[in-house]
Amino acid sequence: MAEEDAIFDPTLKKKKKKKKTTFDIDAALAAEGNADTDGAPTNAAESEPKEEDQDDGNVDIDLDFTKKKKKKKKPFNAEDLDAALNDSKEDGGGEGGNQEDGAADDNFDLDLLDFSKSKKKKKKKKDLDELMAETEEKAEDKENVDENSTLWVGSDRDYTYDELLNRAFEIMRDKNPDMAAGKKQKFVMRPPQVVKIGAKKTSFANFTEICKMLHRQPKHLLDFLLAELGTSGSVDGNSQLIIKGRFQQKQIENVLRRYIKEYVTCHTCRSPDTILQKDTRLFFLQCETCGSRCSVASIKSGFQAVTSKRAAIRAKTA
């Protein structure tokens, strides 16, 4: 058993990564189904080592898949991908703790869709992580459970629910690797082109292009951006967005990422294939993949402090 552990250790780590890429609710349901059917524990225990070996192979293959796919769409190199994976793992660990795996996975998605600049983001996230130190501990607990997932194979102690669930997921991923590898990688987005105009304005050059990619009305995204950034701005003749204030590309990326999380990806299955409809003043997000329909928050800019010269405002209104 000890030897086996030694062999499995690296694979287990990899599995953890992969797990986050593929957790979704359908899968969870299916997993529960699997868990039910795999009822007989003795058989399972005997067949386990073999499956493990297969699994090992598959994991590598899966990772290759993802790399290839990314390369097709974007000139990514492997290091970037690894960095992104590591990052997202940490992010997931930090933030996902309080909202179950689903949320962690969500973060991961958004990282995948990221604009290939994960390294800088890391620092910021870290600070936030400190805030959520408690939740992180929780997440670590969870990871420990993951590592123990197959420990009961040799021993005669009873298995826990989590272990069985993990096993079911592993088997499921073995049987259909395309489900695990594909799907999420569609999400790669082109980075926003942000250029400074003079000292006080910023241009978001491919704004309409990004709206088209997300299948959203430019006005909706515009409202969101301006409300989040707390400024004013407009679309000019060359279909670029001019925002008042100085913003960097990564700042815009952050806001876009939040927009996508809230208004583009389906809240149930996280597919980006959704339609935003307005129905009696409320916005509804209709998913084309799973057919779910849920309302999303309306865009409110909230309190805006006075930042310009008060005398100038008074002169304008009076």
Q: Which residues bind another protein (CB under 8 A)?
A: 98, 127-128, 130-132, 135, 158, 160-161, 227-231, 245-248, 251-252, 254-255, 302-305, 307
Closest approach, Cβ 254 to another protein, in A, equals 5
Report the candidate in 97, 103, 171, 83 with the shortest Cα–Cα distance to residue 132.
97
**What's the min distance (Å) between Cβ of 147 and another protein?**
19
- By C-beta, is 73 or 246 nearer to another protein? 246
DSSP state of 35: H
- Please say which residue, 251 or 289, places its beta carbon nearer to another protein: 251
Q: Which is nearer to another protein, 39 or 237 (CB)?
A: 39
Give the residue among 104, 144, 175, 194 at the shortest CA–CA distance from 12: 144
| Smallest distance, another protein to C-beta of residue 30, A | 18
Q: Which is nearer to another protein, 29 or 131 (CB)?
A: 131
The Cβ-side half-sphere exposure at 115, using a 13 Å CA radius, reads 18
What's the min distance (Å) between Cβ of 257 and another protein? 11
* Residue (63 or 225) nearer to another protein, CB: 225
Q: Is beta strand 241-244 parallel, antiparallel or unpaired with respect to 282-287?
A: unpaired
Classify 171 as helix, strand or coil. helix
Residue whose CB is less far from another protein, 135 or 286: 135
Distance of closest approach, residue 18 Cβ to another protein, in angstroms: 25
Nearest distance, CB of residue 82 and another protein, angstroms: 27
Backbone angles phi, psi at 182, to 5 degrees: -75, -140
Quote the CA–CA distance of 107 and 105 in Å, as a whole number: 5
Supply the Cα-derived Rg of the chain in whole angstroms.
23
Strands in 187-271 per DSSP E: 194-197, 201-204, 233-235, 241-244
